[in-house]
Amino acid sequence: MWCERLHELCLTLLVFFCIVLECSCLTFKYHNNSELEQVLKNFTNSTTNIRTRLEKIGSSLNKIPLWAIELTAAEKDALGVPNIKLIGNIHGNEAVGREIILNFMEYLRTEYDRNTTIQWLLNNTRIHFLPTMNPDGFAVSHEGMCAGEYGRKNGKQGDVEDLNRNFPDFFHDNKIPRQPETVAVMNWMKRIPFILSAGLHGGAVVANYPFDTVKEERWKTLLRRIETVTDSQVEYEMRIQYLASIPINPPSLTPDDDVFRHLATVYSQNHLTMHKGVICDDGKKFQGGITNGAAWYPFSGGMQDYNYAKHGCMELTLEISCCKFPRASELPHLWDENKMALLRYVMEAHRGVTGQLLDSVTNEPVSRADLKIVGRNITFHPSNKGEFWRLLLPGNYQIQVDAPGYYPIIQEFSVKNFSAAELPSLTKMKILLLNDTIPTTAKPVTSSSSSTAVKWDFKETRIEEEEETTILEMNHFLRHFQYTADPNSEYNNGLKPNFFSCFLSMLVIEVFVFTIL
């Protein structure tokens, strides 16, 4: 009898140690979709030194769950803690990213108790991981496929839609049917105020920054330029030379081009080879290992453009291997190349400004507002707690706040410079907004007339509700038109007529007119 109990105990202990080993050890291999789900669940269950949260943010076209995991040691309700996300496997046949993300998660967990830099990072940051955005395409792709389109898209055969062409576009109306994977990521971004992001791709070695999209096609640009050149100005041969000097793909730059170039350079310079301008099979060499997306090749509906223009989240497209789906034996080397680059990149979320919008009387958070860094005409918005973030390089800036029901305000601030040996720190602000029903002698602050407002027309389709919502953000007047169009909005409530007041006013006017007559 004792032998049987001892035997059962040994089996129990064996199973327990096998589970522990499975949870704590990550091998360099490509995990299929079922294995990936199990790795994430094991990681969550076995992590005790830092907080983890696993959530299903949606499903693929083939109903495969999209699992995202949050990793942080920050206090649960702490204010001003930036959110970062890393997304892999956007194209199903570009598989390196999903394994690099898993190894980065394991690296952060393992090093937390013995590396002060990582301890600081996780104590002050919330990092979210989505190892695969396209499990459908991955399921039909094969190890060793270095090029080609097979498995790139979603669907049973990986040939339905390119998810990195499926987001609302900054300049154009994207008519490609919105896919469930895209909707899941868009809804994820609505819930969580991400400040920094990266999408991990394959097929090149370069850090790509926005914009990918362009305002107009190149032939229209050439036509416009040709029209400015007359026969009286130059000869025919000189005109041909002039046209030949125009880049085939001119860059499409954002108002925050300096920040994007900095972020791309941080990743490239900390990557073991990217900064050298690695030449893959296409023969393209990128100076310093970075490129503007449109200067490489322009396209519409990209995820990084949507992140920036719609949510103020700065995202790079990181191409991390010449081969899209290299042999698993190459994964250790690829991990070594990207490990320090990823760590330095996510630390950049602490270079800029953070703050909170508060009502000056009630001290309650103000969550509905348009914010803009003066001179950088891209609008961003606070969280539901009134928090805001913006990545900026060292310097002096002004932030403009326009909230319905409050006087506009512009407030100055500075972003400090940090040496390579220092840990960066966000500039912290508290902005008090004065309700516009309170009389004031101060003149309302308005936008500079020299500033050109950025305009866009994002069309978002919610598949679950089968409805199309057009979000228009143009100028101050149009934003107020949106608020007044909403009968439930606070702004509109302030404009509702008081019938007693109207009646009283009319009576006074009648008496006044009768007296005069």
| Strand positions, DSSP E, 29-188 | 51-59, 65-72, 83-88, 126-130
User: Which residue do the tokens 């390089």 mark?
Assistant: 393
DSSP E strand boundaries for 277-368: 290-292, 314-321, 352-359
> CA–CA separation, 30 vs 88, rounded Å?
13
3 state SS of 16: helix
309 Cβ neighbours under 8 A, 6+ residues apart: 170, 378, 456, 458
CB neighbour list of residue 423: distance below 8 Å, 6 or more residues apart = 117, 120, 347, 350
The neighbouring-strand residues paired with 411 are 399
Strand 409-415 versus strand 395-402 pairing type: antiparallel
Q: Pairing state of beta strands 370-373 and 395-402?
A: antiparallel
Q: Are 308 and 212 in contact (CB under 8 A)?
A: no
Distances (CA, A) of 132 to 66, 74, 87, 138, 160: 7, 25, 7, 9, 17
Q: What are the DSSP E strand ranges found in 286-420?
A: 290-292, 314-321, 352-359, 370-373, 376-380, 387-391, 395-402, 409-415
Q: Which of 319, 387, 460, 473 is catalytic?
A: 319
- Find the helix packing angle between 257-270 and 331-347, rounded to 10°: 140
3-state SS of 296-320 is: HCCCCCCHHHHHHHHHCCEEEEEEE
The residue type found at 96 is V
465 as an active site residue: the answer is no
Which residues are known catalytic residues?
319
